[in-house]
Amino acid sequence: MSENLFIHPENYFTQNTPPENLSDIIRNTSDFIAENAKHGIPIVLVTSGGTTVPLENNTVRFVDNFSAGTRGAISAEFFLKSGYSVIFLHRKHSLQPFNRKYATPELGFLDFFTTNSSGSISVKEQYQKSMSSDISLFNNAILQKRLYMPSFISLSDYLFSLREITKLLGKLGSKACFYLAAAVSDFFIPNDQMSEHKIQSSEGELFLKMSQVPKFLKPLVKSWAPRSFVISFKLETDESLLEEKARKSLEKYGHQAVIANMLHTRKFVVWIILNDNIQKPEEIHLTQAQIDQSFEIEDLIIQRIVQLHNSFINSEKSRI
């Protein structure tokens, strides 16, 4: 790839346009952090879902990816359960904690309800128990300011929001956890090279030249939240590359761990690779019995991440 296609992470922010609601996100994030810090509640930023890359400034077409936000949404639920407050930075219309269960490929929202002869609506008997529990968990999390759910659509919405939220949360130091599960685009078209209006099919074949997205983990770990606990994800489709790529990422950015997963098995097995260069990857997998009972792997992942985060906090305390 030619040199001029590389953009420095900080230059990205001068060359691209922030989302219109960025100042709201900054204000809400500050309030959320202040409220939780007051009660000594640990906070995790969970990023979730895929970023889009527009092909036109007046966007008709964009490049997207496969991520549905399942990992992020379920992880957020288990972080809440483990006593964390959660900033859930997610792709608009992707899966959300608790709500995710009520629009699945098999069951749409309306499938959960029934009406009687006078037209009043109720939840079908078989869903009442779990729905009632999810409604109260969700409402309580929102009301008690333990869950804040800003959203993004494009790569630039995501990166601007990520930078601001990270800088604010990073002030909590080791108590802040970053769990970066969003599927972030690797390539994009810089603003000044993007067509202003809808690309016309009358112009014939379309050739795309895309720049490499700057590596944002670097400033995140080195300057936006240098003392915090940062977990990134690595996704591959060729298993022989997975561990090596995860270790390279740890070497390059110096954060605490990478959760490595394969596209087709990501719901059943992941590997946690710690930044100590000694230990073998820790495999976390579901047994067939657990799969049959619809057990969620995020339950096991979050238990381990919480343990690791606690030792990180304690090791910092012992250094002071």
Residues in contact with ligand 9Z3 by CB under 6 A are 67-71, 180-181, 183-184, 232-235, 261, 266
Give residues with Cβ within 8 angstroms of 165, minimum separation 6. 25, 29, 45, 87, 89, 150
Nearest approach, Cβ of residue 234 and ligand 9Z3 (Å) = 4
Judged by beta carbon, residue 141 or residue 159, the one nearer ligand 9Z3 is: 159
Residue type, 316: E
152 in Cβ contact with 51 (< 8 Å): yes
Smallest distance, ligand 9Z3 to C-beta of residue 184, A: 5
Closest approach, Cβ 69 to ligand 9Z3, in A, equals 5
The residue (of 243 and 316) whose beta carbon lies closer to ligand 9Z3 is 243
Range 221-225 contact pairs with CB under 8 angstroms and sequence separation of 24 or more: 221/253, 221/254, 221/255, 222/253, 222/254, 224/163, 224/166, 224/167, 224/170, 225/166, 225/167, 225/169, 225/170, 225/176, 225/178
Min dist CB 233 to ligand 9Z3, Å, is 3
Q: Are strands 269-274 and 257-262 parallel, antiparallel or unpaired?
A: antiparallel
Q: Count the helices and strands in the chain (H runs, E runs).
A: 9, 15
Dist. CA 124–CA 107, nearest whole Å: 13
By beta-carbon proximity to ligand 9Z3, the closer residue of 33 and 242 is: 242
Sequence-ordered strand ranges (E) for 62-202 = 62-63, 85-91, 113-115, 121-123, 147-148, 151-152, 176-180, 187-188
Two tokens, residue 17: 């346009």
* 271, 283 Cβ separation under 8 angstroms: yes
Q: Provide, rounded to whole angstroms, the least separation between the CB of residue 165 and ligand 9Z3.
A: 16
Rounded Cα–Cα distance for residues 87 and 73 (Å): 11
Minimal distance in Å, beta carbon 180 to ligand 9Z3?
6
> Do 218 and 9 meet the contact criterion of CB atoms below 8 Å apart?
yes
Q: Which of 221, 176, 183, 220 is nearest to 79 (CA)?
A: 176
Strands 211-212 and 187-188: antiparallel
- Closest distance to ligand 9Z3 from the beta carbon of 314 (Å): 27
